[in-house]
Amino acid sequence: MSKFRNLLIGTTLVTLAASPVMAEKLGLGRAALPEEVAAWNLDVSPDGTGLPEGSGSVLDGEEVFADNCAICHGDFAEGVDNWPKLAGGMDTLNHKDPLKTVGSYWPYLSTAFDYVHRSMPFGSAQTMSADDTYAIVAYILYSNDLVDEDFVLSKDNFLEVEMPNADGFIVDDREEAEKHFWTEPCMENCKPEPVKITMKAAVLDVTPDEED
Ligand code: HEC
């Protein structure tokens, strides 16, 4: 298996070194330390797997958010200029221009925890503690009118929070559901007469002429 992989991708030193066997042979790199793996292994799943111990209140979250996030996302998570809005947009998903926020769109709260803990504040990622992250996520829920101001989010009650759009995503079943639309594509001698190319676009010749 690993021989096969080396054969397939072994065209550069970097990819060669990615294989532990070759790394040893070339004397490059070392195995990652357990704490290095732990530092990267942050993912939190919808079923709560990966949530760290901790908790945080809406009120604490309001403060942490004001200090670290509000400059871009607004005091109430409503967004500043073109920075993303994290709150609002309820019942807009079927509009022509829907506002997709953590509250209106995200199906899992775990994504908010994972995302904030992993990648925000923009430019200073991974500076928020677990407790601060619980508090921030609680505050984002509050900004979306999903919890009261005395709410405290923790590892223990995390899965009890109901996200409004939790049922808004479906598994892509087109392979089955739309199978009857599909036909074998014709690859040769598909049309008897010579094929004519016709112009169909409403506006033709849109390439600007060169200015002189
Ligand atoms: C310097 C500006 C800045 C600061 C400060 C900042 N963010 Fe962000 N945030 C961004 C940008 C830019 C994006 C979009 C990133 C992308 O799409 O790749 C983003 C995206 C997000 C999103 C995802 C929004 C969505 O719907 O896709 C969340 C949630 C978020 N930030 C939370 C936070 C939190 C919580 C903090 C404070 C701990 C924070 N941000 C601080 C700029 C900022």
Highest mean pLDDT: which range of 20-29, 36-45, 47-56: 47-56
Q: Probe ligand 1: pick from 58, 68, 72, max atoms within 8 Å of CB?
A: 72
Mean pLDDT for the chain overall: 88
For the cut 80, the answer to whether the pLDDT of residue 7 exceeds it is: no
Rounded to a whole number of angstroms, the distance between the first and last alpha carbons of the chain is 62
Q: Which tokens sit at 49?
A: 């797997």
Is-contact 147 73, C-beta < 8 A?
A: no
Is residue 115 within 6 Å of ligand 1 at its C-beta?
yes
Is 39 or 18 the better-scoring residue by pLDDT?
39
pLDDT at 150: 98
* 79 Cβ inside 6 Å of ligand 1: no
Hunting for tokens 């209106």 — which residue is that?
104
- Taking the C-alpha atoms of residue 178 and residue 7, their distance in angstroms, rounded to an integer, is 39
Classify burial at 64, counting beta carbons within 10 Å of its beta carbon; exposed 0-12, middle 13-18, buried 19 or more.
buried
Average pLDDT value for residue range 42-65: 97
Tokens of 203: 């506006």
Give tens-digit pLDDT for 115-132.
Answer: 999 999 999 999 999 999
Q: What atom of ligand 1 comes closest to residue 100's alpha carbon?
A: 26
Contact between 76 and 143 under an 8 Å Cβ cutoff? The reply is: yes
102's tokens:
């953590």
With beta carbons less than 8 A apart as the criterion, state whether 88 and 101 touch.
yes
d(CA 94, CA 117): 30
Give me the count of residues in the chain.
212
> Which of 44, 62, 69, 144 to probe ligand 1 with, by most ligand atoms within 8 A of CB?
69
Residue 123, ligand 1, Cβ within 6 A: yes
Residue 18, pLDDT score: 57
State mean pLDDT over 179-190: 83
Residue located nearest, by CA, to atom 10 of ligand 1? 122
Q: Report the C-alpha gap between 6 and 22 in whole angstroms.
A: 9
Give just the sign of the alpha carbon dihedral 5, 9, 11, 15. Answer: negative
Q: How far apart are CA 15 and CA 19, in angstroms?
A: 7
Give tens-digit pLDDT for 99-109.
Answer: 999 999 999 99
pLDDT in tens, 62-75: 999 999 999 999 99
Q: How far apart are alpha carbons 29 and 27 in whole angstroms?
A: 7
Residue 133 C-beta-side C-alpha neighbours within 13 Å = 27
pLDDT value at 134 more than 50 = yes
Integer Cα distance of 188 and 182 in angstroms: 18
> How many A from CA of 115 to the centre of ligand 1?
9
Asked if residue 24 has pLDDT above 80, the reply is no
The whole-number pLDDT of residue 182 equals 80
Residue 21 has pLDDT above 50, yes or no: yes
